Amino acid sequence: WRIVEVLTEGPSNGKLTTNDVIVAMNGTRIKNADDLASYLEENTLPGQTLVITVRGNRALDVTIILGRRPPPP
């Protein structure tokens, strides 16, 4: 799942970058948008710590504390 935007006020600012690809969350493989949405909905709450494995210009694990999802425009 490719990251298209990182919010400057969000918990991943400075840790994730545009075009990073999420390949796992807390060790659970993420293959597509459905996997990503399902994992977040079923396994996480705002304020929890999440380890995101990304690949792009580098491969690494990034630890973030989840914020609240911004309201739709």
Q: What is the dihedral of CA 47, 64, 52, 8, to 10 degrees?
A: 110
Between CA 26 and CA 52 the distance in angstroms is 6
Between CA 45 and CA 25 the distance in angstroms is 13
Asked if residue 72 has pLDDT above 90, the reply is: no
Termini Cα distance of the chain: 22
Model confidence over 17-65: pLDDT tens digits? 888 999 999 999 999 999 999 999 999 999 999 999 998 766 799 999 9
